[in-house]
Amino acid sequence: MTEIMREHTFSDDNQFQIVQGDLTRQNVDAIVNPANARLQHGGGVAGLIVRRGGSEIQKESDRWVQKHGPVSHAEPAHTTAGSLPCERVIHAVGPVWGSGDEDAKLAAAVNGSLQLADQLDLESIAFPAISTGIFGFPKERAAKVILEAIESYFQEYPSSQVKLTRLVLYDDASVETFVRIWDSLHG
């Protein structure tokens, strides 16, 4: 089940939603996987994506890294989505807390994912709270960076063909934090 907690329309009908739900159950063109640079999807959300979508996602990720090398924050990788209800998985590398310049790296991961969605002619994308799990990025700070990065993208690219951007949060604490930060930015 997906419950819409906040909804906003940016210019040119680019819709944004904060929802509580399961990222792997989203019926969108692409979901964003909070990945590591080598695209080894063993734990956290990345592991769940592979378990639910199938081993082909990991195999394609391995081939991507063999061909292109480690994935950067600003230039995510992409694979098919296996048996997930979406078409693509965009593998965005968020920063590990304590690695330095984390805010800029997180904003680059969000921006790069939206740019890639536009390049792939996708109309809808769902993000998790990148880096707030096993990478240790504080949720409140990540919420501000992620929300501002999404809004900035649509201010810079108002004619983006991405018509729906969804931020999908699973647990109550994350939902409360992101909604509170959203409300403080738009109150």
Question: How do residues 64-86 score in pLDDT, each as one tens digit?
Answer: 999 999 999 999 999 999 999 99
What's the predicted TM-score (pTM) here?
A: 0.96
Identify the sign of the CA torsion 7, 167, 30, 103: positive
Helix (H, G, I), strand (E, B) or coil at 19: strand
Query: What's the confidence (pLDDT) of residue 49?
Result: 97
Question: Is residue 3 scored above 90 in pLDDT?
Answer: yes
pLDDT per position as a tens digit, 154-187: 999 999 999 999 999 999 999 999 999 999 998 7
pLDDT per position as a tens digit, 79-106: 999 999 999 999 999 999 999 999 999 9
- b or e along 101-119 (b: 16 or more beta carbons within 10 Å of the residue's beta carbon)? ebeebbbbbbbbbbbbbbe
Domains and CATH numbers, the chain: 3-186 (3.40.220.10)
Neighbours of 130 (CB within 10 A): 28
Question: Is residue 121 scored above 80 in pLDDT?
Answer: yes
Residue-averaged pLDDT of the chain: 96
Q: What is the mean pLDDT of residues 50-55?
A: 97
Neighbours of 98 (CB within 10 A): 9
Identify the sign of the CA torsion 111, 113, 118, 122: negative
Query: What's the confidence (pLDDT) of residue 2?
Result: 84
Q: What is the mean pLDDT of residues 5-33?
A: 95
Residues above pLDDT 90, as percent of the chain: 94
